[in-house]
Each structure stands twice: as C-alpha cells, then as structure tokens.
Amino acid sequence: MPLLTSLCRPDGPDLPDAVRVGDVTMSREHLLAAAGAVAGRVAGAPVVAVEAAADARAVTALVGCLLAGVPVVPVPPDSGDTERAHLLRDSGAVLTLGPGDVDLGARGTGTLPEPDPAGTALILYTSGTTGAPKGVPVTRAAIAACLDALAAAWDWTPDDTLVHGLPVFHVHGLVLGLLGPLRHGSRLVHTVRPAPAGYARAALEHGGSLFFGVPTVWSRTVADPASAAALARARLLVSGSAPLPAPVFARVEALTGHRPVERYGMTETLITVSGRAGGERRPGQVGLPLHGTRTRLVDDEGTVLPHDGEAVGELQVQGPTVFGGYLNQPAGQAPTFTADGWFRTGDVATVGADGWHRIVGRASTDLIKSGGFRIGAGEIEDVLLTLDGVREVAAVGVPDPDLGERVRVFVVADGLSEQQVIDHVAGRLSVHKRPREVVFTDSLPRNAMGKVVKQLLR
C-alpha cells in the first residue's frame, strides 16, 4: 500500500478523537484537511524544515509535507543555533514551518498525486556523537516496509490506541509513533511528555492498548507503582532506542503483568529486529529480524561469525528499510557499506542459534578489548544493575599500558564502596570482566532519547 494512500485509511472508521496531541483532538479527516492546506503551500519545494515540537500544528505540518511529496527535515525544538544552522544548510531546506505557520482550521483544496515510493520522505539527522550530525534520507517505501513489518510483528490493527510521549523528530516518535497510527488506522494519544502519570491517564481514560517508551520512561514508570498498575489494561508495551535493563524489565512485568517487547533499529535502517506480540520476550534481547531483513555478525577481519550465542561481532543488515547513503557525503560512503552490500551498523551483538539477537552496544564505546579478551559493556552494566543500591551504571574501556584497555564503570548509587562493586561483577562474570576502576557520580549524561553519551564519560 503506498504511503500517502494509507494515511487516509478509507476502510476504517474515523473517530472525532482519532489523533490527540496533548489537549487537541482531531479526526483523521480533520488532520488531513489541515495538512492538505500545508501541502498546497509547500508543493514543489525541494526540502522543507519543520519545527518538530510535540504539538498538533507541528504534526499537521509534518503530514502536510508528506502529502505534498516534499522531503521534510524535523528540527528538534531545543536545537541550539549551531545545530539548527547545520541542519538547514546541509539539508538544503528552503522554508521552515513553525507553529504559527499552521492553521488547524484550514482545509486543502484539490487532489494530490501519490509521490514516487522511492522518493525521500524524511531527512533525519544522526546524533552527531562522532562529528556533525549526518543527514539520513528515508524513503517512503522504507517507511511503508518498516511499518507493515511491525504491524505483523506486534499485531497492530485499527482497533489499537497507541500511547506515547516521544519526540516527533526521531524514528521512534515520528515514524513509528505518528506515521504508524496513520498507516494502520489506529488511534493516537500523544501525551506531549512521556510521564508515567500521563501514560496511566491514557490507559484509564482513553483506552490505551499499545504503549511506546524508551528505557528511561519505563524506569520512571516502575518507580511510580500506581501509574504502572494502570498499564495492566494495555495489550502491549514496547521499549526501544536503548537497551532495557533486565531489572527494569522484571519490575515492569511485576507491576503491569506485561513482559515488554524490545526492538532494535537505527536512523539509517529504521526498525530491523524485534520481539513478537504473540511470542517469547527475553530480558536483554531484542528478538528476531523483521520480515524482509537479513542480519549477520562479522569480526574485525570481516569473517562471518557463527550464530551460537557466544561469538561477539559487528551486526550488519540488509533489507528494504536500509537507507542508501548519507546526504552530501559521497566520499564517506565506503566504510558504511561492505563490498557485498551489507550496512555496517557499528553495533556489537551476539545472535543465538534460534536467531535471537542481543545488542552488546556500540563498537566504538561498548566493545572493550582488555588483555586479549573482547568484553561487552552491556553485560557488566546488566550485572551491576542487580546490585542493591545501584540506580544507573555505564561501563567504558579506557587506555591501559598493560591491558590495552581496562574496564571503568560510572555508578549512580547509594551506600556502596568501590570494592563491593568490583566484587559483585567478579562473582558473577569471568574475572577478567571485573571493573578496574569505579567512579561514583550523581548522574549520567544522556541524549534526548535517554541513551547514555559515553563519549562524554570517556
């Protein structure tokens, strides 16, 4: 089904509150009419930027650009002057739409042709942890393939009401959280902020059945048992954008009765691996490849590794959701893809004989090479989160003249000593995985999606 045609969903009922963003409600017809007015204004533009706040007018502007077939650049509302200037210059945006540029009462006139599925729908920007953010052109066909695969994996239907409070300038909140409900005909309740009380209210008052969150959302939810209990009414809880700590997984299950589904993806690939609504959910693992996606592991020399649950290597993917290359960077494409056409994710993983994937972390920050051993930071972090008193933890490798790298952990905790932290790891994992240094801190640096920014720790 083409992306534009699917936004209309003529085969399903259109409720007055099909789309709710904060206190603003719209039917799909209302949204598409107002978005059609935006489309009429921007049609023919090469690229348009949208101030992508969690606001009904921003949502309307984003959908309007898609209706017009114009590539849209969602600009984070909190972006600084330097970041904003880079996004606008690099993308070539000729127009920026802010909240004041959208009239929710306007109605578009005329009909618009279905844009080319191979055409760019979105230009999303990476986090920029290794330099200036890079533009990722995402095609309409890739979005459609991703959302259809997720519908099959999560049993996502027009009967669902999706609830989340995620930013609408990332894959999670924009592609899955906005375009997903429009494509599948489900209701959308955007809580503006991902607060546990807001999620609980959506479950109780709006009949929320499908809930999206990042690990920070779920950790805050389980810290509020009353709000968590309300989610027992849900059909499915989904966690993504960063690994969900096993203790949080267990606490979510205890308070809500649901074992969360985890999934894995990147801006460059959209979602490629996920658990299934009707299948097993394993703490610390992200599931199986989605329909049409292939994955493999390779070592530093490019040798393909076995799927035995033990071999640790870089995860590489192929499939209909993978992008074709970064915007304006043709000279830098070679390291991104292998000679035989696989995208190099830069993430380190293991894959079991049954196909289940476990993401260890980023090769640049989460693969620690110490004394000839390859150590996954995530394994150390998961173990430390089972130690009473530990609230947050991040493990990194730092240069060591003898070992090559030694394990250093940053811990947010109460009433613990360095030796207790070291002994806890050494007693549960191989001794070579124990931390050589422990740094106690009040908090860990995180980005907008809740991921720890380890470059700042290193």
pLDDT tens per residue, range 306-347: 999 888 899 999 999 999 999 997 655 557 899 999 999 999
Q: What distance lies between CA 190 and its chain's CA centroid?
A: 16
Gap between the Cα atoms of 159 and 235, Å rounded: 11
Spans in the chain with pLDDT lower than 70: 1-13, 127-131, 330-334, 372-374, 448-449
Which residues contact residue 20 at a Cβ distance below 8 angstroms, ignoring those fewer than 6 apart?
26, 187, 188, 189, 190, 206
3-state secondary structure of 197: helix
CB contact at 8 A, 254 and 246:
no
Which residues of the chain does CATH 3.30.300.30 include?
Answer: 365-457
The model's pLDDT over 357-393, given as tens digits with 9 standing for 90+, comes to 999 877 777 778 787 666 778 778 888 988 999 999 9
Gap between the Cα atoms of 264 and 271, Å rounded: 6
Gap between the Cα atoms of 249 and 450, Å rounded: 16
Gap between the Cα atoms of 418 and 320, Å rounded: 47
CATH, domain 365-457, list 3.40.640.10, 2.60.40.10, 3.30.300.30, 3.40.1010.10: 3.30.300.30
The confidence score (pLDDT) of residue 226 equals: 94
**Under CATH, what is the fold of the domain 3-359?**
Rossmann fold (3.40.50)
The label of the residue with tokens 């009765």 reads 257
Looking at the DSSP bridge assignments, the partners of residue 153 are none
Gap between the Cα atoms of 361 and 397, Å rounded: 12
225: Cα within 13 Å, side-chain hemisphere: 3
The confidence score (pLDDT) of residue 449 equals: 62
The model's pLDDT over 282-294, given as tens digits with 9 standing for 90+, comes to 998 999 999 999 9
pTM: 0.84
Which residues of the chain does CATH 3.40.50.12780 include?
Answer: 3-359
